[in-house]
Amino acid sequence: MEALDLARWQFALTTIYHFFFVPLTLGLSILVAIMQTFWHNTDKPVYKRMARFWGKLFLINFALGVVTGIVLEFQFGMNWSEYSRFMGDIFGAPLAIEALLAFFLESTFLGVWIFGWDRLPRRIHTASIWAVAIGANISAFWILVANSFMQQPVGYTLNEAANRVEMTDFFALITNSNVLVQFPHVFTSGITTGAFFVLGISAWHLLRKRGDAEQLNFFKQSFGMAAVYGIIGIVLVIMVGHTQAQHMVETQPMKMAAAEGLFDSEDPAGLSLITVGDWEQRSEVFSIRIPGALSFLAYNKFDGEVKGIHDLQAEYEQEYGEGENYIPPVALTYWSFRAMVGAGFLMLGLAGLSLYFAARKQGNVAKWLLRVMPFAIGLPYIANTFGWIMTEVGRQPWIVFGLQRTEDAVSPNVTAGMVALTLVGFSVVYISLIVVDVYLLAKFAKQGPDSDDAEAVAEPATVTA
Amino acid sequence: MSLSDLWFILISVLFIGFFFLEGFDYGVGILLPFLGKTDTERRQIIGTIGPFWDANEVWMITAGGAMFAAFPHWYATLFSGFYLALALILLALILRGVAFEFRSKRDDPQWRSRWDWAIFFGSVIPALLWGVAFGNIIRGTPIDASMNFTGNFFDLVSPYTIITGLAGVAVFVLHGAIFITMRTEGAVEKRAQDWARKFVMPVIAVCALLAIANYAQLDLYTEIGANPGVVPVATAASLLAVGYFVWNRQFTWAFAMMALTMVLALVTYFWFLYPNVMVSSTNSAFSLTVDSASSSDYTLKVMSIVALIFVPIVLVYQGWTYWVFRKRVLDDTKALHY
């Protein structure tokens, strides 16, 4: 394999790995902050135990999110130096701002939160977990500003002499219409991920009914809270996703065509339930489509033309040069889209049912649902991962849409051997660490709120900071 | 002063912040297996940097991000050129970062000892390699006309860069030992004091060797003559003051002098590096400079506004955390997180 292919594998591996941890960090930090705020407002010890217990799981996950983020930052320069030279003027700024505005806030106040339980007034301590949650989500915003430029370049001029793009309008960059749909989607999928994590672990405990009444009450309340949180998250994620799809038809029609396996333009266009394509010949072999539904997805009405791959290829050849292939890997884009959307609607159903049971008088959840929910922890991970695969793969062959091809972005002086060596090194470390991470998460999740917190329960409820 | 000069200064400041802050926490990590005899002592030692290490590391991330934004060519040349060295640093930092969080999650001596060694290697490897990298940046590496590094990993290893690497480790270890004396009580405090006293002379010796090596390698004599100027002399003086205070067991003063030494040493470094940001050993005309490596004026302007607003805010809240956690860490298991 060439250095380019290996560098792509390394980038894919690192981003996917990083994004295993990030959404949970985004969503769970807010939920822990909410729990602790409830404690601050009501003085009920159960909320303190909640913040501590879910907070501990949050920390185990957080550690891996941080360290893999550093790898990403370094990787642009290491494997994609031509990209960095071409894009630094635009891409570097949000990255630096992310560190300055978000990472400092997040990491500083995380230290304060971990070590400040007994040392700080309750209000300041509660504010510190909010600072962590806000920092984490601000960081998502800035990295998506950077990514959005790759999807939809705005506010720039191409300096041919220097062979780079230069920023002309910072405000355009941060109000890029792509980031305005992408950030809410990532933000709400974080909420959904956090909610399903709490729902799944709570369900596991409720099913076993071990521990005292206090313990059961703890998980019942956690379940209820996460159900509310989860339904908000998943409804919004689907709504925003719909807007995002419409935006995609407008700005990256080729990605949509690939995601739908739509080879020829249609009006009205049908939404593919399943398409078997001859991906080599770029033609459809067999397909079941819901008539008009793709037009609806695109335009909110049941007619309107959605362009197919062949027409778009012809258009792009006119615009960007003949004889090049402007079609992304169709099968991967197509199936990733389906995996994401499928997992999404499954989550909508499960979150709805969870909320229904939690809202009943007794708050007792049906056994079968308790059995299902621990497995459902995996659903947001499937949706998050394939969502990103579709976003990034569907943009190919471009690394920056319309401006730079991925093959032109790779470091010219880094050999295949070097990339292969580090790819092996990172893979070994990633795989070992994810094993340890899952082991620790499972260990502490099973243990339940620990005995240390018994003191917290015994604490007189009247003590305030 | 142009905006790119300003950003050269700002990035220097970020690196100085990084080496000063993460310097002691690398030092603490390196000393961990040697200063901590029991598990409780080790937890106490990690506790000295517990609330800070993560935020300290962000100084490096911010320096990297700022380099990307303000000097994309510096970032691209450095990161693709020092590829394997940086990959090693990354692997070390990954293990180190999770080690802090994971080590106390199981009550098993073998498990804990394994993570303690991860912290040790995770601290010593970056400390050494950052020193090597900074030595290479200023001494010069093969860089061609299109700003690409044309050498390999072994071009980065030379007697000079080994000295810069070792000097980095030596200074960080001493910095860490002094930091521990200020942040602990009991057996650990005493042991850290003894270590600092034992090591202060060898550290000064390594730094003296580095000064000589600088003269030999960087053509400093032809450039500046025998008198290096006020800042380098002050650096040497403050390092000697560290020795004096350590020897007399006045560790707060020793820490202050150590801070001063590191700041002055790095100011000297960036002073001599300017206007280059990476020297080419192939042809000095190929060296990357503040002007040839920088972003457009507009980007630098935007970044300057953001930095001028947020750097002070960050300094205030980070300073505040050192105030909040100013109490010494005791060998009391119940109060220890890690």
pLDDT band, residue A365 (cuts 50/70/90): confident
pLDDT band, residue A336 (cuts 50/70/90): very high
Q: Considering only alpha carbons, which residue of chain B is nearest residue A89? A: B295
Q: Considering only alpha carbons, which residue of chain A is nearest residue B336? A: A115
- Report the alpha-carbon distance of residue A152 to residue A76 in Å, rounded: 19
Q: Which amino acid is at B226?
A: A
Q: What are phi and psi of B233, to 5 degrees?
A: -65, -40
In the predicted structure, residue A462 carries a pLDDT above the cut 80: no
Interface touch A84/B148, C-beta < 8 Å = no
Distances (CA, A) of A230 to A7, A31, A348, A351, A434: 37, 10, 9, 6, 25
pLDDT at B310: 92
pLDDT at A94: 94
How many inter-chain contacts (A to B, CB under 8 Å) are there? Answer: 218
Tens of pLDDT along chain B (338 residues) come to 889 999 999 999 999 999 999 999 999 999 999 998 888 889 999 989 988 888 899 999 999 999 999 999 999 999 999 999 999 999 999 999 999 988 888 888 889 999 999 999 999 999 999 999 999 999 988 989 889 999 888 889 999 999 999 999 999 999 999 999 999 988 999 999 999 999 999 999 999 999 988 888 887 667 777 777 888 889 999 999 999 999 999 999 999 999 999 999 999 999 988 899 998 888 888 988 998 899 999 999 999 999 999 999 999 999 999 888 888 887 777 667 77
List of chain B residues whose C-beta atoms are within 8 Å of the C-beta of residue A451: none
- Report the alpha-carbon distance of residue B233 to residue B229 in Å, rounded: 6
pLDDT band, residue A452 (cuts 50/70/90): low
In the predicted structure, residue A463 carries a pLDDT above the cut 60: no
* DSSP-based three-state secondary structure for B122: helix
Interface touch A114/B97, C-beta < 8 Å = no
B49 close to A (CB below 8 A):
no
Q: Which of residues 75-114 of A touch B (CB under 8 A)?
A: 76-79, 81-82, 84-85, 87-93, 95-101, 103-105, 107-112, 114
Model confidence over A47-86: pLDDT tens digits?
Answer: 999 999 999 999 989 888 888 888 989 999 999 999 999 9
Percent with pLDDT over 70 in chain A: 96
pLDDT at B179: 94
- Report the alpha-carbon distance of residue A440 to residue B105 in Å, rounded: 7
Q: Give me the residue from A74, A93, A112 closest to B79, CB to CB.
A: A74
pLDDT at A280: 67
Determine the number of helices (DSSP H) and then strands (DSSP E) in chain A: 16, 6
Q: Give me the residue from B90, B149, B311 closest to A70, CB to CB.
A: B90
Give rounded-to-5 percent helix, strand, coil for chain A.
75, 5, 20
pTM of the entire structure?
0.90
| Listed residue (A173, A122, A289) closest to B302, CA to CA | A173
pLDDT at A458: 39
pLDDT at A271: 86
pLDDT at A360: 86
Q: Report the gap between the CA of A115 and the closest CA in chain B (Å).
A: 6
Q: Which residues contact A400 (CB under 8 A, 6 or more apart)?
A: A83, A86, A87, A149, A150, A153, A165
- Report the alpha-carbon distance of residue A297 to residue A291 in Å, rounded: 12
pLDDT band, residue A1 (cuts 50/70/90): low
Helix ranges (H only) for chain B are 3-35, 39-49, 53-70, 72-81, 83-102, 109-139, 159-183, 187-217, 220-224, 230-247, 251-273, 297-324
Q: Which amino acid is at B117?
A: W
CA atoms within 13 Å, Cβ hemisphere of A5: 3
Mutate: best of A20, A84, A443, partner B, most B CBs <10 A? A84
pLDDT at A451: 54
- Report the alpha-carbon distance of residue A321 to residue A319 in Å, rounded: 6
In the predicted structure, residue A323 carries a pLDDT above the cut 90: no
In the predicted structure, residue A465 carries a pLDDT above the cut 60: no
Helix ranges (H only) for A252-308 are 253-260, 293-299
A175 close to B (CB below 8 A):
no
- Report the alpha-carbon distance of residue B47 to residue B104 in Å, rounded: 12
Say how far residue B235 (Cα) sits from the centre of its chain: 16
Q: What are phi and psi of A321, to 5 degrees?
A: 120, 140
Model confidence over A7-26: pLDDT tens digits?
Answer: 999 999 999 999 999 999 99
- Report the alpha-carbon distance of residue A333 to residue A336 in Å, rounded: 5
pLDDT at B220: 67
Interface touch A88/B61, C-beta < 8 Å = no
Model ipTM value: 0.87
A59 close to B (CB below 8 A):
yes
- Report the alpha-carbon distance of residue B67 to residue A138 in Å, rounded: 21
pLDDT at B332: 73
DSSP β-ladder status, A404-405 and A398-400: antiparallel
Average model confidence (pLDDT) across chain A: 89
Interface touch B299/A433, C-beta < 8 Å = no
- Report the alpha-carbon distance of residue A98 to residue B183 in Å, rounded: 31
Model confidence over A404-451: pLDDT tens digits?
Answer: 999 999 999 889 999 999 999 999 999 999 999 999 988 888 888 865
CB of B120 closer than 8 Å to CB of B29: yes
